[in-house]
Amino acid sequence: MMWQQMICVVLLAISPLMTPVPANPPKPIAFLPGDLADAESPAFTPDGDTVYFMRGSENGAAVMVSHRAHGKWSAPVPASFSGHWRDGDPTMAPDGSYLIFTSNRPAMAGGKPIDAVRQGKVLAGQGLNLWRVDREGNGWSEPRRLPDTVNTCTSTFAPSVASDGSIYYIGCAPDGVIRPMRAIHENGQYQAAYAVAVGDKDAQVRDVAIAPDRSFMVFSIRHDPRQPYRLAIAFHTPNNWSEPEDLGDVVNGGTHSMGSQLGCDHRTLYYSSDRTLPSSGSPQDKGGDDHIWRVSLAPWLSAHGLPSDASPAPCVIG
């Protein structure tokens, strides 16, 4: 009986890697908005013609914007609300009415950039909180920091917004551990955030991308700090979230797969990886950079009885 119990423990520990992958999984395609420089975490407007994403800058990182016209993407420039502080992880509300991003900018006007505290050490200016800008005509409002019910610590990042207004993100749970969190938006206010139970208790989960209707989510997961993060999908059930299903080696290339985001069709996964780009011959193409990749989630959604195509499709991303 002892050896049977040990096998069960091992099977539970590696179960995310044992879920069958589609026989012919779709191959990821590089998405290069405007140039070949590094890029992460794309957030699309509902029509798919504008994309905001994260890029390294002299200040650490910035939110960039690129527009599509006549089938081509414009050269990216810093978004109107970014470029001075360490900004990143943009995510768009499903209806395009607001955008949430991370920043180390001062929590209060005239203050200093947010510090991070890791293992008892203060890292000056390295903290992150969630901020929001609202659509105003063709532009955006001034950024405003989300309340402390959401920003429970200075390591709050990787937001994703559902149609009900709730935010899924990575932050500090009541036990102090960095976990996936959810803050419900109700009566015009964000309620106290709570930890999202997905994967086993030893799993490290990062960068959750939630479907607008909360029927599924994609995220990066690992069980050992020495392992790379791999992309997995989980489905909402009457008993909360299903066991994570690894998306397989075809999707999980390079040394890591992070920054999950859903395209404006809500059926295409965009993520960041340092996997090798197709040969381009461009001097901009520096090996080792993170680039954005896209892949259809249709096989996994169909296997769970969810529509694999949006109806009608709100956008097509080239």
- CATH code of residue 189: 2.120.10.30
Residue 207 gets the label, from left (phi > 0), alpha (psi -120 to 50) or beta, of: left
Residue 315 lies inside a defined structural domain of this protein: no
Pairing of strands 167-172, 178-183: antiparallel
Residue 242 lies inside a defined structural domain of this protein: yes
**Residue 105 buriedness (CB in 10 A; 0-12 / 13-18 / 19+):** buried
The token pair at 195 is: 């930890």
The distance between the two most distant Cα atoms of the chain, rounded to a whole number of Å, is: 67
Could you give the 3-state DSSP secondary structure of residue 54? Answer: strand
Q: What pLDDT is stored for residue 316 in this prediction?
A: 57
Q: What pLDDT is stored for residue 287 in this prediction?
A: 53
Q: What are phi and psi of 102, to 5 degrees?
A: -100, 150
Supply the DSSP symbol for 128: B
What's the one-letter identity of residue 318?
G
The token pair at 78 is: 């810093």
Cα(222)–Cα(232) distance, integer angstroms: 10
Cα(112)–Cα(155) distance, integer angstroms: 16
Query: What residues contact 82, with CB distance under 8 A and at least 6 apart?
Result: 62, 63, 64, 101, 103
Cα(134)–Cα(128) distance, integer angstroms: 20
Residue 190 lies inside a defined structural domain of this protein: yes
The token pair at 43 is: 């957030």
Residue 24 lies inside a defined structural domain of this protein: no
**Residue 195 buriedness (CB in 10 A; 0-12 / 13-18 / 19+):** middle
Residue 298 lies inside a defined structural domain of this protein: yes
For residue 289, which of 35, 73, 68 has the smallest C-alpha distance? 35
Domains contained in the chain, number: 1
DSSP-assigned letters across all residues of 131-191: EEEEEETTEE---EEPPTTT--SSB-EEEEE-TTS-EEEEEE-TTS-EEEEEE-EETTEEP
Residue 201 lies inside a defined structural domain of this protein: yes
Cα(51)–Cα(71) distance, integer angstroms: 14
Residue 32 lies inside a defined structural domain of this protein: no
- Give the structural domain span for 93: 2-18+38-303
- For the chain, 318 residues long, the average pLDDT of each consecutive 10-residue run is 38 45 84 89 94 86 93 94 95 96 92 85 88 95 96 95 96 90 94 92 92 96 91 93 94 92 94 82 56 94 84 57
Q: What pLDDT is stored for residue 113 in this prediction?
A: 92
Cα(118)–Cα(116) distance, integer angstroms: 6
